[in-house]
Structure 1
Amino acid sequence: MDNSGYVAISRQAGLMRQFNALANNIANASTGGYRREDVVFAEHVKALDAGDPSISIATASRRIIDFTPGDIQSTGNPFDVAIEGDGFFLVEGADGPRLTRAGAFSLNGEGELVTADGRRVLDEGGAPIVIPPQADTFSIAADGTIAADGQPVGRLGVAIADPASLIREGDNVFRAEQGYEPAPDARVRQFAREGSNVSAVTEIARLIEVQRAYEAGQRFLEGEDERIRRVVREIGLSR
């Protein structure tokens, strides 16, 4: 394969990664607190042998996450909570707290506040939040303070972190590679959920663009393959 083939294949690989990212965004367009992601294309210039020009190859090995807030909608469920502005809820992780914007909470059998996938929600000190089973009323103030029958039982842990250090994991949570800090000025809203920040229409349109670009690249590769085969045949006939 000559240099043009390697250049085209590198572009095709990047487009496939972008296609998968867009498809994942569309699949999560209705997932509460989901943050869309995309692929960053960069140019990798490789020096060749002395006297030969360099070769430029596309790379798309890094994904970026869009942390634009999603729309907040009222639900009437007292265990639904949304963050207004920056910040993430602290939730349980296998090897330390994780961060999420998905605030569709509920109670498990032990009276602990948990996420939709069963992770325990943590307070500002990193401990699980337990609601007394005999409580008749449950409320969450704007500063995250939780009260049962009018008595404080904890405060939601809300943290901020450098977006560039956040690594997406499963279950719509993030791991903060460089740590996180408490968000003392964060405000939350009870009886509400934050939706995904994905615009399905926009993502579908971009998906079609990427698919067309990939198909054009495939046609180029097929043309290059035929050109090389033709050259080989002509060389063979000339001997």
Structure 2
Amino acid sequence: MDNAMMIGLSRQMTLRRSMDVVANNIANANTAGFKVESLLLENRAAPTAEHADGPSDIQFVNTWGMARDFRQGELAFTGREFDLAIEGEGFFAVEANGNEQYTRDGRFRLDGAGQLVASDGAPVLDADTRGPILIDASAGDIQVIDGGMIMQNGQQIGRIGVFEIANRAEMSKQGNGRYTIPESDDPADAPLAMLEPSVNQGFVEQSNVQSILELTDMMAVMRSYQSVSKFLEQAEDLNKRAIERLGRI
């Protein structure tokens, strides 16, 4: 395979990945707390096919990583007692599969045991105990005030854990709008910091996906893919004609 074909195919591979990312953004435009993603690319030098003259290296395009835009989405009023939204920085903490996971999705509820849980049943963690939050719903109405304190009959019964993650580049996506972070052996390098958040009760943070922009990106990716496909077809035709002429010599 010659250099032109190799470069074109490497670009097509990254365009297909970009299309997957854009399609996922559009699919999650109505997912609470979802953060829009984009593919990061880099040039990678590689030896050319053997030739008598010309450059010794060619530049391929390669996937470098994934970028996430953590800007806050709009807060939508629901009026539900256990729907919570963070205004500003930070993440809620839940326990899932034996690990702490972090999310901006505050669609919480009480399970049969009186635990405050996420929509899939993962316990929401208390800021002080880092354990489940237990609430007796029959004992009175619940209020969540600034700082994440949970109040019932004028008494604090818990505090919603809201954490700031120092290096968001180290966050690993786990699905369901959740992330994990690597553990630190050195307390001085702790990747988490407690926040005194502004938590809004009866609200849910919406996705920060802007559907019009994502549709525009999708069309741009499609046009680029078509252009590369046409380039590859022309390169193949050129190779065929060159081989035919050599055969006549």
Cα distance in 1 for partners of 2:9, 2:98 equals 38
Shift of 1:118: 1.9
1:168 to 2:173 alignment: yes
Question: Of residues 151, 157, 180 in structure 2, which corresponds to 1:153?
Answer: 157
Amino acid at match of 2:139: A
Residue of structure 1 equivalent to 2:81: 78
Conserved 8 A contact 1:132-1:148: no
Matched residue count: 238
**Preserved contact between residue 83 and residue 106 of structure 2 (Cα < 8 Å):** yes
What amino acid is aligned across from residue 209 of structure 2 in structure 1?
Answer: V
Q: Give 3-state SS (helix, strand or coil) of 2:244's partner.
A: helix
Residue 35 of structure 1 is matched in structure 2 by: 35
1:63 to 63, 66, 87: 66
Give the aligned partner of residue 132 of structure 2. 128
How far apart are 1:47 and its partner, in Å? 4.3
**Contact 2:26–2:209 (CA under 8 A) maintained in structure 1:** yes
Q: Secondary structure at the match of 1:10?
A: helix
Check whether the contact 2:90–2:195 (CA below 8 A) recurs between aligned residues.
no
Report the aligned-residue RMSD: 1.8
Contact 1:157/1:182 (CA < 8 Å) preserved in 2?
no
TM-score when normalising by structure 2: 0.90
1:112-123 aligned at under 5 Å gives the runs: 112-123=115-126
Aligned mates of 1:126, 1:229 — CA distance in 2: 67
Distance 2:142 2:160 in 1: 13
Q: Which runs of no fewer than 5 residues in structure 2 stay unpaired?
A: 184-189
For 1:115 and 1:68, the matched residues in 2 are separated by: 22
Separation (CA, whole Å) in 2 of partners of 1:236 and 1:143: 80
Corresponding residue for residue 57 of structure 2 = 54
Change beyond 3 A, Cα 1:88–1:72: same
Corresponding position: 1:194 with 2:223: no
Q: State, as a whole percentage, how many aligned pairs show the same letter.
A: 33
117-126 or 9-18: bigger deviation? 117-126
SS in 2 for 1:15: helix
Equivalent AA in structure 2 for residue 167 of structure 1: S
Once the 2 structures are TM-superposed, how far is the Cα of residue 197 of structure 1 from its aligned partner? Answer: 0.5
